[in-house]
Amino acid sequence: MLCGILCVIVANLIRSTANEMVDGFGNCQMTNETCEFYLEIEHKLTMMRDKDLVFPYEGKLYRYDVVNVTEADPVPLDEVISADGWEEPRLVAAVNGKVPGPPIIVYQGQTVIVHVKNKLKSQTATIHWHGLHQNGTPWMDGVPFVTQCPLHPGQIFTYKFKAEPKGTFWYHSHVGAQRSMGTFGAFIVREKKVLEMEEHILVINDWNHDWDSDLAHMKMIYGIYEGRKKISGTKSLDGAFFSLFKFHAGLVNGRGRYYDEKTGHHNGAPLEVFEVEQGKDYRFRVIAAGVLYPFRISVDNHPLKIVASDGYDLDLVEAESFIINPGERFDFVITANQTVSNYWIRALSLEIDKNHTAEAILRYKGASEQEPVTQQKNCTSSDLCIVINCPFLHYPSHEFSVCKTFNDLKAASSDNSTDPIEPGKFQEFFLNFAFPGTTFTPGSVNGREFKVPSVSVMTQPNEWNYPCKEPECGEQKICTCTHALDIANGDTVQMVLTNMGKGRGWSHPVHLHGHSFHVVKMGYANYNETTGKFIGDNLDVDCRGDTVRDDSFCNNATWSNVSWNDGNVPNLELEHAPRKDTIIVPTGGYTVIRFQADNPGLWYFHCHIELHNLDGMVLMINESFAEVPDPPANFPQCHNFPPGYISEIKDMTHEHQDVQ
């Protein structure tokens, strides 16, 4: 029996004899072998109900021509994409008319079929299933010109794959800046057993209500101006940069509110409400779908029990808050043991001197429909706040907040095996995710700015030829090419992800398609322990390059101590290393990951900050290409014209500005 979600029913897609309506949120029954879904991507406008503009007032929405809200019925919230409540509508690329799109909830091992129709007028589209390994179905990974051709306007593409592994995942467009236009939603894979507790899904993203994402991206490259004044980017407390993005509000499940920076007053837009019952435990699945900023998430009066990240279970750690970067997921549990009332769920960006906040409400059953008046925990010397997943080592001492970095966490006992090293079956790579250069600074990996192919490389390999080669590429050079790294079938692969040398300054959440990996070591920069400020690079890694360290592009790094080569790095966590598919690489530091090459395919590996990905901070993992299974019959192909034409790389001045 097939089960499906029809959030928007499209007559020409429905095969009603095979489908069963389960509920309005995309749940598939545990007993089903196959689950079928229908998604449409189309442009919508925020703050519109059909053709009527709406406005926010005290957490509700009203039609544009209402004069006295006390005498009018509010507009149903689920009929409007409200975002931050800004009354000038903004263009979004919605999924089934929603931002975020409808959550898809399935069970481990089920076959998932998703029919995606592109109803955008002028853009292509694909859907990537973030965190799902696509073992045996690499052509369903949803990366345009890597694993498939993009869908043109009006086209339908049917994705079919196994729901593996279990955990908190999400889906999103992988075309250009389309993800931050709203094309994303939760994808939850549950174990085939009765839920231990009720669950809530919390999707968070940063938001600009003035510009669509393509315009925002261009302004990030060429500069943001207000009048004749150039606006600079913000920084985190350690001194690391954030790339340019005009941030108006944080959204939780598509809802937030705009705060005026001068007055501090907000516009009264509606917020997401999570209902709990006193005395029960609840699991929250948190997904970071944003463009750029990490958020520190907490719930007033409720300690957080961190139990999983990126779908993999962790030994429980209790904390006041945790930090989540674009692409990451964290699961936490709270016990609803407080007085029946309303409590703030807070998500604060890591920017200093800015109050950029996403808010939601934790409402106990029986509480009045009022906004909370609760306060965030006051951290003191006798009652320190534990913060999980810091991208740096220290908060300023006067904040009494203690960082636990991700490598301080341990995998749950049920998931504690790290990939072994067999003689002759080990590969180690150093990959520097950075912005090295002089005047112009494209994003790159080892100085190689990724050039998007013009064909679906995995299914049309004979039509691709943009190799990274000398003399264009080198230790102190930036080159443009389709960067691919070959790994052999069955090898244990260790990658040292660095963020060092001349191009450091921005921390990068790096996401690997097709695999999860064990985080076996993290090396952080040197910091002032009192102020938390960056002092200098971690010296475990030698950037080489025949120049002083701060001028090195770090394109050909190695261990400073040669005895660390061949997997002999001291203090690796090999017994209880936690797993992830998206990990922060701290500025001035490194992260060591390890995985088994057991999934033949062509896997995208990139910074999940949208700007950095678009700027070329990408490479492809070419895994056991001879073992890649053939795609389905009649799989779409795309070509230059005439077919078979291979473009040559030319030396061109990069049209990139310094990204700060």
Q: Which tens digit of pLDDT belongs to each residue from 169-208?
A: 999 999 999 999 999 999 999 999 999 999 999 999 999 9
Region 352-371 average pLDDT: 94
Q: What is the spatial distance between Cα 443 and Cα 226, in angstroms, rounded to a whole number?
A: 26
- Residue 16 is predicted with a pLDDT of 30
Band the pLDDT of 487: cuts 50, 70, 90.
very high
pLDDT average, residue stretch 5-30:
44
Calculate mean pLDDT across residues 137-141.
Answer: 97
Q: How far apart are CA 479 and CA 530, in angstroms?
A: 40
Q: Tell me the per-residue pLDDT of 381-403, one tens digit each, with 9 for 90 and over.
A: 999 999 999 999 999 999 999 99
Least confident range from 20-29, 463-472, 525-534: namely 20-29
Q: What are the percentages of helix, strand and coil residues in the chain, rounded to 5?
A: 5, 35, 55
pLDDT for the residue numbered 6:
40
Amino acid 496 reads: V
Residue type, 229: K
d(CA 156, CA 134): 20
Rounded to the nearest integer, the mean pLDDT of the chain is 90
Could you give the domains of the chain?
2-53+91-194 (2.60.40.420), 246-389 (2.60.40.420), 426-627 (2.60.40.420)
Which letter does DSSP use for residue 152 in this model?
P
CA dist 577 → 245, 391, 409, 428, 449 (Å) = 34, 18, 8, 18, 31
Residues 155-174: tens digit of each pLDDT: 999 999 999 999 999 999 99
- Averaged pLDDT for residues 568-580: 93
User: Is the omega angle on the peptide bond into residue 100 within 30 degrees of 0, that is, cis?
Assistant: yes
User: Using 50, 70 and 90 to split pLDDT, how confident is the model at 438?
Assistant: low
Other Cβ atoms closer than 10 A to 438: 9
Question: Which region among 65-79, 110-124, 217-231 has the lowest average model confidence (pLDDT)?
Answer: 217-231
